[in-house]
Amino acid sequence: MVQPLAARLPDTAKGVEYHAAIGDVIEDLSDEQRHSLRLILEHYLHKMLENEASDIDIGGPGCDGKVWYRIHGDKSPYEQDEISILETDFLLHNVIMPSQREHLLEERNLDFSYTIDTDSELDQRFRADMYFDLQHLALNMRRIDNVIRPFKGLGMHPQIAKALSLKYYKYGLTLVTGITGSGKSSTLDTIIDANNRTVDSHIVIIASPIELIHKPIKSVVRHREVGRDVMGFKEGAIQALRQDPDIIVIGELRDPETIMTALEITDSGHKTFGTLHTSSAMESVERIMGEVPVNEQERVRSRLADVLTCVISQKLVPSLDGKRVMAKEVLLVTSSIKAAIRNDNVNEIYQMLMEGSKEGMNTMEQDLQRLHNEGKISKEVALNNANNKKRMEQLLSKTEFV
């Protein structure tokens, strides 16, 4: 179907002109023709669901004419079909609007959400990132879970559960951290859902893109997608202050301005949740301080010590049943930890985590040890995913001795 469309492209079109020309061809198609093109891409998305894949990659030289799926952590090509770069350029341009295409060609990247119909009652949503690979379009889509995990499934200590609830803590900043694909969004959705079910409140979610949609239960829940409903995370957070919120969720603290805004809105008396791309509680504190100019660090360190409530750093690690299981480090900001942050003694926090089990705290290494002791992960997986390898070896050797 794409070859006749390609014939409409100017022979001399290269780079941005080539993609702008594809956009013009796409916009001239009938609704029926565009629907037929969407069905080709959606065929691979349905295959993704059948394969229980978390991600799909398509387009650009990097995919080598294949569609790739990540299944239980491993990424491999779908060998049954070949799909050319020209075909994927058209298929990918077909799923975005003119305004999104303009943003893509200017910024060379586009985040958006995509939805397909399924046989079940719930449609399937995807988080999509479109970008350039050697001047051709490439796309990653991540499947968004339709079902929110119950809060009990997170295995949080009662003290941590209270810290995450608006019922007990009316303000404070909670960070959910981890690398890409570690399940941060799912954990955050579980926490939001728990508050939505138990507290009369107003929750404002700012994300890029919006993933899971929360239906109002006991709370008003607003979903504001960056680029569609609001211009940016910082703007969304500032605007939220005028919307009578109780909880503000900032999908990603990705730049110094957004981080500072999160501290300011929490300092104004709101309960705030956000995510960071860090692998431990200590690294999260250091990352925030590293984003601040040296002459501002003392002031920001004091503010962070005042507002930070909890840090959950997590990883999805391979389990012995061939799937993945969550390992997490949990920090509850006690008076001692506040003092460590305020006095720039971040290195002391690890010891406090190790000794903080009564408050529900644990290091990543302690949680990996738990998973190993429960027979869920291997020793090698525990070592490979530890932040502190030496400490992990010590914990495993104690287990073997016992």
Give Cα separations from 196 to 105, 173, 199, 332 (angstroms): 39, 18, 6, 22
pLDDT value of residue 401: 45
Query: What angle (nearest 5°) sits at the alpha carbon of residue 53, between those of residues 48 and 56?
Result: 65
**321 vs 209, higher pLDDT:** 321
Which of 80-89, 133-142, 158-167, 192-201 is predicted with the least confidence, judged by mean pLDDT?
80-89
What does the pLDDT look like over 353-369, one tens digit per residue?
999 999 999 999 999 99
- Chain-centre distance of CA 188, in angstroms? 9
Share of the chain above pLDDT 70, in %: 99
- Give the count of beta carbons closer than 10 Å to the beta carbon of residue 323: 13
* pLDDT tens-digit map of 27-70: 999 999 999 999 999 999 999 999 999 999 999 999 999 999 99
State the pLDDT at residue 120.
73
Percent of the chain with pLDDT over 90: 79
Q: Residue 2: phi, psi to the nearest 5? A: -75, -35
Mean pLDDT of 175-200: 94
Rg (CA), the chain: 23
* pLDDT score of 98: 93
pLDDT band at 8 (very low <50, low <70, confident <90, very high): confident
Domains of the chain in sequence order:
2-143 (3.30.450.90), 151-362 (3.40.50.300)
The pLDDT of residue 402 is 42
pLDDT in tens, 246-263: 999 998 898 889 999 999
Q: What phi, psi does 71 have (nearest 5°)?
A: -120, 115
Rounded distance between C-alpha atoms, residue 390 and residue 393, angstroms: 5
Could you tell me the two tokens for 333?
Answer: 């900001």
Question: What is the full DSSP assignment across 330-347?
Answer: EEE--HHHHHHHHTT-GG
